[in-house]
């Protein structure tokens, strides 16, 4: 009998955690060693419409989603893919999987969350280290004296998010719908940004999308034949209101830049399949990938983009440092700054937490140089692609996940039938000789 593995995760949502959850479920199903059941949960305001008809991996996931949140018996293993303060142990063994944290100090309730599980899997060395390094004083409410230390005291490991090389690869195929969008783009040299434009003041949102846009405009204003910037972004939703709010942000920043002419900004807002995302990364008008991100638990779009073989301009810090190499990536210089409170909901970021902020002046100079000396940087992008297609694949991720799960399940008692020993006949029973 296969071990019963329950996965609780936002498998139906269009989000980073949704993509990761679908990868984990797919890997478990493909192993064919476990009886996989799935409890689907929401993820913020992201729409729960990511499971595509006709996609065999998504259809296998759909089959295993529980209509009601109950099972006939306790699972052998529960895998909970959420942020750590939501971790819940409900099985014989419990693993929490999380992108962890995008800055240096996780909140105390996140540390308490990982300690509720038998093990936590992080997506990057950076995230794991943030938890390894933290140590909170726990004080007596009455006396105010320190009575114990709160730190991560359960096993932890790192499991990267692997991209599927059968999907993410160099291609010249472009869907009709995507072709229509790109026909509206006049420039042949475009930088591409992929990521949510989240909460926070200018320069303070986690992806730093606002300042990236402003620096791009300042860099190429009043230039003859400037490059364009394509922003595949949203506020973690795909509604008409969401799109309108993004357009308002772009307009406000453009109005703040004093210039006779400005380079064009193109917004791509809405759903794209994995295949269409790859087609976008590989479109001939897209020449380089750009981000000023402050922090990543992993940085999945950057890994996917690297499979296109095009230059990547990004700070080599936080989660993406695991798969971006200074020799092959256009590493944007940065300094460590305090995490602003506007970037996250209350309680998410410790007041002493820091994260990288790109040196905007040096980033501007590097963007110019990439345009001027493109072939040099394209060669570096090709080398990064070769390295990542070898080491950061879905298959490699699946094999490591399988070894972790098997090790965890080896300590779980199995349900076995009770087999009584055969009793001997009375005539066969020999009594011990008694000494006189």
| 62-90 per-position pLDDT tens digit | 999 998 878 889 999 999 999 999 999 99
The pTM of this model reads 0.90
pLDDT of residue 426: 40
Q: Are 119 and 96 in contact (CB under 8 A)?
A: yes
Taking all residues of the chain, what is their mean pLDDT, rounded to a whole number? Answer: 92
What tens digit of pLDDT does each residue of 249-270 get? 999 999 999 999 999 999 999 8
C-alpha 189/C-alpha 183 separation (Å) is 13
Q: Cβ neighbours of residue 345 under 8 Å, at least 6 residues apart?
A: 199
pLDDT for 234 beyond 80: yes
Residue 419 is predicted with a pLDDT of: 41
Are the C-beta atoms of 109 and 118 separated by less than 8 Å?
Answer: no
| Residue 93 in this model has a pLDDT that exceeds 60 | yes
pLDDT of residue 416: 39
- Mean pLDDT for 227-244 is 89
Question: Distance (Å, rounded) from C-alpha 321 to C-alpha 159?
Answer: 14
Q: What is the pLDDT of residue 15?
A: 87
HEC profile of the chain: CCCEEEEEECCCCCCHHHHHHHHHHHHHHHHCCCEEEEEECCCCCCCCCCCCCCCHHHHHHHHCECCCCCCCCCCCEEEEECCHHHCCCCCCEEEEEECCCCCCCCCHHHHHHHHHCCEEEECCHHHHHHHHHCCEEEECCCCCCEEEEECCCCCEEECCCCECCCCCCCCCCCCHHHHHHHHCCCCCCEEEEECCCCCCCCCCCCCCHHHHHHHHHHHHCCCCCCCEEEEECCCCCCCHHHHHHHHHHHHHHHHHCCCCCCCCEEEECCCCCHHHHHHHHHCCCEEEEECCCCCCCCCHHHHHHHCCCCCEEECCCHHHHHCCCCCCCEECCEEEEECCHHHCCCCCCCCCCEEEEECHHHHHHHHHHHHHCHHHHHHHHHHHHHHHHHHCEHHHHHHHHHHHHHHHHCCCCCCCCCCCCCCCCHHHCCCCCCCC
- Residue 416 Cα distances to 140, 276, 419, angstroms: 47, 48, 9
Summarize pLDDT for 95-141 with one digit per residue, the tens.
999 998 999 999 999 999 999 999 999 999 999 999 999 999 888 78
Residue percentage of the chain with pLDDT more than 90: 81
Q: What is the pLDDT of residues 316-366, one digit of tens each?
A: 999 999 999 999 999 999 999 999 999 998 888 888 999 999 999 999 999
What structural domains and CATH numbers belong to the chain? 4-159+394-409 (3.40.50.2000), 176-391 (3.40.50.2000)
Task: Dump pLDDT digits (tens) for 339-353.
Answer: 999 999 888 888 899
Distance separating alpha carbons of residues 192 and 286, to the nearest angstrom: 6
**Residue range 228-238: average pLDDT?**
89
| pLDDT, position 414 | 60
By percentage, how much of the chain surpasses pLDDT 70?
Answer: 94
Write out pLDDT tens, residues 382-397: 999 999 999 999 999 9
Q: Which two tokens stand for residue 381?
A: 């992008």
């Amino acid at each position: 009998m296969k071990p019963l593995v329950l996965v609780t995760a936002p498998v139906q949502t269009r989000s980073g955690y949704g993509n990761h959850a679908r990868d984990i479920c797919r890997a478990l199903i493909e192993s064919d060693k476990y009886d996989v059941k799935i409890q689907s949960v929401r993820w913020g305001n992201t729409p729960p419409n990511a499971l595509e008809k006709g996609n065999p991996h998504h259809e296998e996931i759909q089959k295993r989603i529980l209509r009601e949140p109950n099972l006939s018996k306790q699972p052998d293993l529960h895998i909970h893919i959420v942020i750590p303060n939501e971790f819940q142990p409900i099985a014989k063994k419990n693993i929490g999987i999380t992108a962890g944290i995008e800055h240096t100090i996780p909140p105390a309730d996140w540390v308490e969350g990982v300690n509720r599980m038998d093990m936590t899997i992080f997506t990057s060395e950076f995230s794991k280290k943030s938890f390894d390094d933290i140590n909170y004083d726990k004080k007596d409410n009455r006396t105010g004296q320190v009575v114990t230390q709160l730190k991560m005291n359960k096993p932890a490991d790192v499991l990267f998010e692997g991209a599927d090389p059968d999907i993410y690869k160099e291609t010249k195929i472009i869907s009709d719908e995507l072709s229509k969008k790109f026909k509206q783009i006049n420039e042949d040299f475009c930088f591409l940004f992929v990521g949510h434009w989240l909460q926070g003041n200018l320069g303070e949102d986690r992806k730093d999308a606002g300042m990236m846009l402003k620096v791009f405009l300042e860099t190429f204003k009043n230039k003859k034949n400037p490059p364009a910037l394509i922003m595949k972004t949203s506020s973690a939703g795909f509604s008409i209101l969401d799109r309108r709010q993004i357009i308002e942000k772009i307009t406000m920043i453009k109005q703040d830049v004093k210039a006779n002419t400005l380079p064009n900004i193109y917004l791509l807002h809405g759903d794209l399949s994995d295949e269409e995302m790859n087609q976008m990364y590989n479109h001939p008008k897209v020449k380089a990938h750009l981000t000023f991100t402050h922090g990543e638990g992993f940085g999945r779009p950057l890994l996917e983009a690297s499979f296109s073989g095009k230059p990547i301009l990004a700070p080599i810090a936080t989660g993406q440092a695991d798969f971006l190499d200074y020799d092959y990536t256009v590493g944007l210089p940065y300094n460590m700054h305090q995490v602003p409170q506007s970037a996250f909901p209350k309680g998410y970021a410790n007041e002493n937490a820091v994260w990288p902020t790109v040196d905007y002046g040096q980033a501007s100079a590097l963007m110019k140089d990439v345009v001027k000396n493109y072939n040099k940087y394209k060669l570096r992008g090709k080398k990064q692609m070769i390295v990542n297609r070898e080491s950061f694949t879905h298959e490699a991720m699946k094999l490591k996940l399988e070894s972790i799960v098997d090790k965890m399940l080896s300590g779980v008692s199995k349900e076995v039938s009770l087999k009584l020993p055969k009793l001997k006949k009375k005539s066969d029973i020999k009594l011990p000789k008694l000494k006189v």
